Amino acid sequence: MKKYKILMTYKNTEGLELLLNHPEIQVDIKPKPTQEELQNLIRDYEGLLIRSEVKVTKEIIESADKLKLIVRAGTGVDNVDINAANKKGIIVMNVPGGNTISACEHTIGLILAMVRNIPQAHNSLKSGRWEREKFVGNELQGKTLGLIGLGRIGSEVAKRMKAFDMRIIAYDPYVSEEYANQLGVELKSFEDLLKESDIISLHIPKTDSTKNLINKETISKMKDGVKIVNCARGGIINENDLYEALKSGKVSSAALDVFEKEPPDFSSSLFKMENVVFTPHLGASTEEAQVKIAQEVSLMIVDFFTKGVIKNAVNIPSIDFQMYEKLKPYIKLVEKIGLLQSHLTLEAVKQIEIQYVGEIFNNINTYILTSAYVKSFLSRFVDIQLNFINSQIIAKERGISIKETKLREGKEYKEYITAKVETSKSTYTISGTLISDNNCRIIEINGMDADLEPEGNIIVVSNIDKPGIIGKIGTILGDNNINIAKMFVARKIPGGEALTFINVDSEITSQLISSLEQVSGINMVKFIKL
Ligand code: NAD
Ligand code: MLT
């Protein structure tokens, strides 16, 4: 039995029993490999399971020739180069939500520790001092807590901090006023949040636009004596600018669970500051969160490799098992259309438009279908391994624009899919439908009615529609011992241009193609294996 090989880069296996004991999966645990080790190791693996201990860079992804799936056992995928994964067609999944409560509770712990100097007082007491005046703190009641990011963790923090009688405000351009109001949170502009908050807590992902969001300039807009908490991602706060603001007193104290570099540079001046509470990226580190995440990760990996289910992917729409089963026959249909069309398209392509006709397509994931078509269409022209993730990206890189349209009702068929390929000279169309889950038909080619079973060996002949040609084709094939299973002629008008499709029982040679092309009235012959 084939075993899918998964590389895991951290030690804790609690909750991973389903994955570790699965007969079709082999998990190799190599904790904290260096970047160089990872780049060498990854060549052998189809799956990679990580937390934040490694950076999956472009170089690592480029060496990962067998890799199909990267799973981040946690929320943040900022340690994975998603663009590189997209290009290579690797699915990246995370487990959003599994550690929300843990991260929220840790944030609250940091807020309380920070406002009451708990770690500093603890250290002082343990070293034999009784310094009651030194560690006078602040109450939370009546103060304003400003949340940057009102997603999963931000919202849970808001709910709980209301119990401290705080006024909660938030900046998050991607949530609605109604949602915030339901949580008892006032939505503010970024500038107003900076101005009005006594404590600012960060709950946003680290992206190009949030990197260094808290810097010298934004800190200068905050209240004097503001307090800042970061339990989201290192690098959202500029650590040098924070250090200067802590030194000047502009920021009276801070609590940091995450750092620009992890583990951080302990010689940095920031670590000498008395008014900062530090934890070593512990937001998600609870037994409950680790087990919850590990169980979900196990199921995600097993279902992906054994059933094709895509769950929690960050670079492709997710497909559950039911949806995957529903999509399977349509995937086969569009792949057949794509391959056939790639043979019939004679010039460089500018645009591909896929039209989905029928009520059913309103409820299914047509992005996957369009990607499957593009994958099949391009597969003869590119030497990159194409799949659902990278095919549309590669097409766009080659200057081909991809469009999807949907129509609720068609004319003759209840549901069908039409692929329209535009080149500088022509427009080529092919439509296909499902007869049953295992049986599809091409019903239209370049505006001509068709009845083609897109299966097996097919000879396509472009010819003038005149008497005698079909007979000659039959004779040549018969003389060469090629049995015809089915044949049909697509034509717009009698006597005009026609396309003849012949399903044959065996493959034909290039010499036989040349012999057919010698027949007067035949312009082109192609052999296609679908
Ligand atoms: P989430 O996706 O549920 O919420 C993030 C919110 O940020 C979203 O509502 C989004 O609209 C908002 N947002 C995005 N860009 C923004 C911007 N520029 N300004 C304002 N709002 C913006 O994510 P989450 O699960 O709540 O996680 C939040 C952060 O916490 C992530 O960075 C995650 O990696 C981190 N995290 C850290 C730990 C830890 O151990 N310290 C644990 C879990 C999660
Ligand atoms: C996360 O993003 O899930 C947390 O930061 C936890 C972790 O890094 O493992």
Domain ranges of the chain: 4-96+288-307, 100-278, 317-455, 456-530
515 Cβ contact partners less than 8 Å away, ≥ 6 residues apart: 476, 480
Instruction: Using the atom order of ligand 2, give the atom closest to the CA of residue 284.
Output: 6
Go through 397-412 and write b for each residue having 16 or more CB atoms within 10 A of its CB, e for each that does not. Answer: eeebebeeeeeeebee
Ligand 2 geometric centre to CA of 105 (Å) = 14
CATH top-level class of 317-455: alpha beta
Which amino acid, 162? K
Ligand nearest to the backbone CA of 75: 2
Of the bound ligands, which one is closest to the alpha carbon of residue 96?
1
pLDDT value of residue 494 = 85
Extract the tokens encoding 398.
Answer: 């080659």
Query: Which residues approach ligand 2 with their CB closer than 6 A?
Result: 51-52, 74-76, 99, 281, 283-284
From the CB of residue 83, how many other CB atoms can be counted at a distance below 10 Å?
12
Provide the angle, in degrees to the nearest 10, between the axes of the packed helices 287-307 and 321-344. Answer: 40
Q: What is the CA radius of gyration of the chain?
A: 31
Maximum separation of any 2 CA atoms in the chain, in Å = 109
- Measured CA to CA, the distance from residue 388 to residue 68 in angstroms comes to 11
Q: Is 151 in the pocket of ligand 1 (CB under 6 A)?
A: yes
Atom of ligand 2 nearest to the CA of 51: 9
CA 29 to chain centre: 25
- CA 275-278-283 angle, 5° bins: 140
Ligand closest to Cα of 210 equals: 1
Catalytic residues: 233, 262, 281
Closest ligand 2 atom to Cα of 95 = 3
Q: Is 99 in the pocket of ligand 1 (CB under 6 A)?
A: yes
Alpha carbons within 13 A on the beta-carbon side of 225: 6
What are the beta bridge partners of residue 417?
356, 432
pLDDT at 521: 92
The yes or no reply on domain 100-278 and CATH 3.30.1360.40 is no
Cβ–ligand 1 distance for 230 under 6 Å, the answer: no
* Confidence (pLDDT) at 46: 97
Same CATH fold assignment for domains 4-96+288-307 and 317-455: no
Ligand closest in space to the Cα of 206: 1
Structure-token pair, residue 165: 């009688």
* pLDDT on residue 410: 79
Residue whose CB lies within 8 A of the most ligand 2 atoms, among 50, 105, 281, for a mutation test: 281
Residue 257 CA to ligand 2 center (angstroms) comes to 11
- pLDDT value, residue 381: 84
- Ligand 2: which of 99, 153, 291 to mutate, judged by most atoms within 8 Å of the beta carbon? 99
- If you take atom 25 of ligand 1, which residue's CA is the nearest one? 152
Tokens in use for 29?
């645990």
* Closest approach atom of ligand 1 to CA 282: 40
CB hemisphere CA count around 124 (13 angstroms): 13
- Quote the pLDDT of residue 478: 95
The protein residue whose alpha carbon is closest to atom 16 in ligand 1 is: 204
Question: Which is it for strands 144-148 and 484-491: parallel, antiparallel or unpaired?
Answer: unpaired
* Dihedral (CA of 378, 395, 307, 325) sign: negative
Determine whether 181 is exposed, middle or buried from the number of CB atoms within 10 Å of its CB (0-12, 13-18, 19+).
Answer: exposed
* CATH superfamily, with its number, for domain 4-96+288-307: NAD(P)-binding Rossmann-like Domain (3.40.50.720)
Cα 106 to ligand 1 centroid, rounded to whole Å: 14
Ligand 1 pocket check for 172: Cβ under 6 Å: yes
CATH among 3.40.50.720, 3.20.20.70, 3.30.70.260, 3.40.630.10 for 456-530? 3.30.70.260
* Cα-to-centroid distance, 245 and ligand 2 (Å): 27
* Ligand 1 centroid to residue 187 C-alpha, Å: 16
Going by alpha carbons, the residue nearest to atom 12 of ligand 1 is 149
Instruction: For CA atoms 34, 37, 42, 47, give the dihedral sign.
Output: negative
Distance 466 CA to ligand 1 centre (A): 68
Ligand 2 closest atom vs CA 74: 3
DSSP letter, residue 211: T
pLDDT per residue, tens digit, the chain (530 aa), is 889 999 999 999 999 999 999 999 999 999 999 999 999 999 999 999 999 999 999 999 999 999 999 999 999 999 999 989 998 989 999 998 999 999 999 999 999 999 999 999 999 999 999 999 999 999 999 999 999 999 999 999 999 999 999 999 999 988 888 899 999 999 999 999 999 999 999 999 998 889 999 999 999 999 999 999 999 999 999 999 999 999 999 999 999 999 999 999 999 999 999 999 999 999 999 999 999 999 999 999 999 999 888 889 998 877 877 888 888 899 999 999 999 999 999 888 999 999 999 999 988 889 999 999 999 999 988 877 788 889 999 899 889 999 999 998 877 789 999 999 999 899 999 999 999 988 999 999 999 989 999 999 999 999 998 899 999 999 999 999 999 999 988 888 888 888 999 999 999 999 999 999 999 999 999 999 99
Separation of 113 CA from ligand 2 center, angstroms? Answer: 21
Q: What is the DSSP letter of 483?
A: P
Judged by DSSP in three states, 147 sits in strand
